[in-house]
């Protein structure tokens, strides 16, 4: 039987979006054109494939059976075609979407952007929220090139690579009346704290580290991004426990003082995650290599 390969991305996009309007927008075609393509797919497969549901469409049993095989076939075709293409970063012109968590956006993205400006000035980054899981980032659908943060329980179509480990330090205001030297355990537990609650897994890692050490922390204020911390700490006698790379950035602020945590809080991992279809894309491979280089050369980063 002869198949129209142009129909396969339509099928995959409908499976991922479960919504005709969003699928058409992602494919860059009109809804009538998508409906026409779906009609042809139904004829070939002799099955409705997708039926209307309360909030969009739902795949039939046959569509669910076909989905892994079609996704795998497209990935293999991409690998062969993209693997033959040359890539010159100095000449490349493209927009790349990344989903960094708050730590990566604050600590690593500025250096990555600066490096791109030197070696690949035609590559522009667009940042999208990391969200609470990979589905929200667009990485599972492949619309986002990669997620950068702590990744656990990734599905089979996502490749996860460890890029660095990071530890913790503390930040207080420069003239803090109680912290004149090293921060002791007793001082840490007496102080009030600013807590960063970004989406994702980082907050769980810090909470677990404190619990392992039996270190109490009175949280006076929770914020949603690291950028909010400097102003809060500079205006109060609060303390913030943050990743070391962020503390190194904040150390340049004369209003602030970075001190060691009173106990070893360990480290947390940072990962890159991307859809398997990008495994052999020369441009994607090159960008992954650059990000890995920047992460592992960051001051204080552990490999």
Classify residue 238 by burial, with Cβ atoms within 10 Å: 0-12, 13-18, 19+. Answer: buried
112: its two tokens? 């990555």
Q: What domains lie within the chain, and their CATH numbers?
A: 7-83 (1.10.10.10), 94-165+268-296 (3.40.190.10), 168-259 (3.40.190.10)
In 118-131, which positions are buried (b, 16+ CB within 10 angstroms) versus exposed (e)? eebeebeeebbbbb
| pLDDT tens, residue by residue, 164-213 | 999 999 999 999 999 998 999 999 999 999 999 865 555 567 888 888 89
| pLDDT tens, residue by residue, 2-31 | 667 778 888 988 988 888 888 888 777 888
* Phi and psi, residue 169, nearest 5°: -145, 180
HSE-CB at 109 with a 13 A cutoff on CA atoms is 18
133: its two tokens? 């899981």
| pLDDT tens, residue by residue, 209-228 | 888 899 999 999 999 889 99
Classify residue 90 by burial, with Cβ atoms within 10 Å: 0-12, 13-18, 19+. Answer: exposed
User: Alpha carbon 145 to chain centroid distance?
Assistant: 10
The Cα 133–Cα 69 span in angstroms is 25
46: its two tokens? 């002799």
Residue 299: Cβ within 10 Å count: 10
Residue 77 Cα distances to 139, 160, 276, angstroms: 19, 21, 12
Q: What is the pLDDT of residue 303?
A: 45
Say whether pLDDT at 247 is over 70: yes
Helix or strand or coil: residue 255?
A: coil
Which own/partner contact pairs does 186-189 have at CB distance under 8 Å and 24+ positions apart?
A: 187/262, 188/215, 188/217, 188/239, 188/261, 188/262, 189/215, 189/216, 189/217, 189/218
pTM of the model: 0.71
Please provide the average confidence, as pLDDT, over all residues in the chain. 87
| pLDDT tens, residue by residue, 24-68 | 887 778 889 889 999 999 998 899 999 998 878 999 999 999 888
Q: What is the pLDDT of residue 106?
A: 92
Q: Which of 153-162, 165-174, 248-257 has the lowest mean pLDDT?
A: 153-162
């Amino acid at each position: 039987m002869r198949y129209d390969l142009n129909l396969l991305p339509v099928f995959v996009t409908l499976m991922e979006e479960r919504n005709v309007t969003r699928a058409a927008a992602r494919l860059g075609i009109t809804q009538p054109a998508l409906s026409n393509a779906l009609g042809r797919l139904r004829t070939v497969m002799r099955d409705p494939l997708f039926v209307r549901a309360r909030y969009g469409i739902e795949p039939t049993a046959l569509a669910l059976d076909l989905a892994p095989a079609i996704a795998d076939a497209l990935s293999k075709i991409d690998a062969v075609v993209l693997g033959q293409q040359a890539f010159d970063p100095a000449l490349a012109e493209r927009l790349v979407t990344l989903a960094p968590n708050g730590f990566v956006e604050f600590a690593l993205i500025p250096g990555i952007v600066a490096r791109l400006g030197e070696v690949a000035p035609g590559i522009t980054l667009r940042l999208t929220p990391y969200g609470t899981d990979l589905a929200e980032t667009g990485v599972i659908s492949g619309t986002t090139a990669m997620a950068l943060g702590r990744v656990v329980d990734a599905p089979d179509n996502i490749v996860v690579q460890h890029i660095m480990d990071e530890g913790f330090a503390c930040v207080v205001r420069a003239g803090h009346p109680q912290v004149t030297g090293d921060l002791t355990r007793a001082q840490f537990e007496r102080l009030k704290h600013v807590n960063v609650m970004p989406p994702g897994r980082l907050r769980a890692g810090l909470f677990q580290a404190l619990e392992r050490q039996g270190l109490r922390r009175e949280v006076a204020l929770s914020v949603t991004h690291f950028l909010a911390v400097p102003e809060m700490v500079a205006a109060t006698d609060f303390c913030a426990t943050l990743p070391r790379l962020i503390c190194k950035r904040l150390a340049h602020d004369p209003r602030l003082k970075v001190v060691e945590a009173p106990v070893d809080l360990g480290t947390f991992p940072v990962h890159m995650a991307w859809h398997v279809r990008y495994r052999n894309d020369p441009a994607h491979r090159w960008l992954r290599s650059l990000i890995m280089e920047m992460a592992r050369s960051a001051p204080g980063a552990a490999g």
